[in-house]
Amino acid sequence: MAFFSRPSAGVTRRVVLLVHLWTGLVVSSYALLIGLSGAALTFRAELQDRAYPEFFTGPPAGGVLADVTVVVEQLRQRYPGYRFSGVDYPTARRHSFLAYVAKDGEDLRTVFSDSVTGRVLGELPRDGWIQRLQDLHFNLLMGSTGYVVSGIGAMCLVLLVVTGPVLWWPGVSRWTEALSVHAGRGWRRVIRECHWVTGVWTAGLLLLWAITGVYFCFPGQFREAVNVVLPLTTTRPPVSAGSPLGEDVPFNVLVSRAQALVPGAQIARLSLPATDTGSVGVVLARREHGDFDTSDQVTAYFDRHTGEALALDDQRSRSVGDDVIRWLGVLHVGSFGGTPIRLLWMVTGLAFPLLAVTGVVTWWTGRSGHTRRDNP
């Protein structure tokens, strides 16, 4: 229990200090980039609204949506040889249909179609500044290799956030005093206190972002780890058993049947089969499509050849482990609680670059003999 009363003593703390110090120096640039880009992307929806009003501004025009069969046909005519897994329906902030089309697994394009006519409106520029900012945050502009590098960086951030409070702890008699920065003690001391205080006050959110960052970079391994503790639900789309001869059932017919199965729900997405034996999925939202909450979604699967309803996958029947995985994305981007939460996320996200800068300065001044590396 000596740590609680005399935290500066002990070999263990000195080891923790070395781990925190050198890990922080190695990932300081990563923390700076991730923090600044993440803070900006907190309001990505608003940035996209301003940059691409032809795709994102306003509710669906005309009131009556285009026949999704027409939307798919228009996409196939415009992009022969491309494959796409489905079409997302318009939302309150995006007045167009959305599809991701790809060729040879590399040429990925984000395509928008008119909500009333089904006509292809255009593509989201792949070299726009918002897209580059996203790539910087997701993979450090390094493609698939960047995800690995970013995942390792996120794991290092987890280590930093865990060891930081251990080094900050000043003892039971001084911990309240160490929760604030004291001006008038010299700029080097102020910077050092700013580093510790910022880390302690933001540790909870920083740890959340670091853990969810690991998940986004290594989703398969992360899901396996969660499954050991909280089993995940494994679902596979059913197979179309009907004869592949002849024409498939029109997509609009399947959408109407899905609406009949879940009365009052909004159509969220049409999922297309990848093979002749695959089934067509119609995703419905019981409350609101496009609100970033997928807990109210239901997917109705249909035989593509006969139109027979094959299965109904309701998110409400998912396991606790499934809920944990779903909330990882929601918590990371702050897509709950409205604008106040996103403002909090944006401001707190700036703690990463602030900690990176103050940490390097603290190390440099200590290395130069200007200050001691002990508790505030």
Confidence bin at 344 (pLDDT 50/70/90): very high
Residue 260 pLDDT > 60: yes
Question: 158 lies in a domain?
Answer: yes
Residue 12 is predicted with a pLDDT of 82
Confidence bin at 1 (pLDDT 50/70/90): low
Residue 376 is predicted with a pLDDT of 43
Residue 295 pLDDT > 50: yes
Q: Are 219 and 153 in the same domain?
A: yes
Q: Are 275 and 339 in the same domain?
A: no
Question: 205 lies in a domain?
Answer: yes
Q: What is the mean pLDDT of residues 81-100?
A: 91
Q: What is the mean pLDDT of residues 304-322?
A: 92
Residue 372 is predicted with a pLDDT of 45
Residue 38 pLDDT > 60: yes
Specify whether the CB–CB gap between 206 and 162 falls below 8 A. no
206 exposure class (CB count in 10 Å sphere: 0-12, 13-18, 19+): buried
Question: 3 lies in a domain?
Answer: no
Confidence bin at 185 (pLDDT 50/70/90): confident
Return the residue matching tokens 């000043």: 170
More confident residue, 172 or 82: 82
Q: Are 226 and 285 in the same domain?
A: no
Q: Are 228 and 338 in the same domain?
A: yes
Question: 26 lies in a domain?
Answer: yes
Confidence bin at 7 (pLDDT 50/70/90): low
Residue 343 is predicted with a pLDDT of 96
Other beta carbons within 10 Å of 230: 14
Q: Are 190 and 66 in the same domain?
A: no
Return the residue matching tokens 């049947």: 257
Return the residue matching tokens 């059913």: 238
Q: Which two tokens stand for residue 280?
A: 């067509």
Residue 10 pLDDT > 80: no
- Shortest CA distance to 270 belongs to which of 282, 259, 286? 282
Residue 126 is predicted with a pLDDT of 82
The listed range with the strongest mean pLDDT (78-87, 144-153, 181-190, 232-241) is 144-153
Q: Are 262 and 298 in the same domain?
A: yes
Contacts of 198 (CB under 8 A, 6+ apart): 351, 354, 355, 358
What sign results for the dihedral spanned by CA atoms 137, 147, 97, 343?
negative
Confidence bin at 17 (pLDDT 50/70/90): very high
More confident residue, 244 or 237: 237
d(CA 375, CA 171): 9
For residue 101, give the 3-state DSSP assignment: strand
DSSP secondary structure letters along 232-270: PP---PPBP-S--SSPPPPHHHHHHHHHHHSTTPEEEEE
d(CA 70, CA 141): 36
Confidence bin at 59 (pLDDT 50/70/90): low
Q: What is the mean pLDDT of residues 183-192?
A: 88
Question: 192 lies in a domain?
Answer: yes
How does strand 297-302 pair with strand 280-285? antiparallel
Q: Are 247 and 203 in the same domain?
A: no
Q: Are 223 and 243 in the same domain?
A: no
Residue 375 is predicted with a pLDDT of 45
Specify whether the CB–CB gap between 301 and 280 falls below 8 A. yes
What sign results for the dihedral spanned by CA atoms 119, 122, 123, 128?
negative
Confidence bin at 371 (pLDDT 50/70/90): very low
Residue 374 pLDDT > 70: no
End-to-end Cα distance, the chain: 20
Residue 368 is predicted with a pLDDT of 60
Question: 108 lies in a domain?
Answer: yes
Specify whether the CB–CB gap between 251 and 218 falls below 8 A. no
Residue 50 pLDDT > 80: yes
Q: What is the mean pLDDT of residues 117-125?
A: 92
Q: Are 271 and 340 in the same domain?
A: no
Q: Are 174 and 276 in the same domain?
A: no
Q: Are 178 and 210 in the same domain?
A: yes
Residue 72 pLDDT > 70: yes
Query: Which contiguous run of DSSP H or E holds residue 194?
Result: helix 187-217
Report how many domains make up the chain: 3
Query: Which contiguous run of DSSP H or E holds residue 56?
Result: helix 53-56
Residue 236 pLDDT > 80: yes
- Shortest CA distance to 376 belongs to which of 170, 163, 160, 166? 170
d(CA 163, CA 291): 36
Percentage of the chain modeled with pLDDT above 70 = 93
Q: What is the pLDDT of residues 327-338, one digit of tens each?
A: 999 999 998 888
Specify whether the CB–CB gap between 304 and 273 falls below 8 A. yes
Question: 375 lies in a domain?
Answer: no
Q: Are 295 and 208 in the same domain?
A: no
Question: 328 lies in a domain?
Answer: no
Average pLDDT over all residues of the chain: 89
For residue 251, give the 3-state DSSP assignment: helix
Residue 313 pLDDT > 50: yes
**Residue 263: domain span:** 239-317
CA distances from 51 to 41, 71, 96, 335 (A): 14, 24, 15, 20
Buried b (16+ CB within 10 A) or exposed e, 148-174: eebbbbbbbbbebbebbeebbbbeeee
DSSP state letter for 230: S
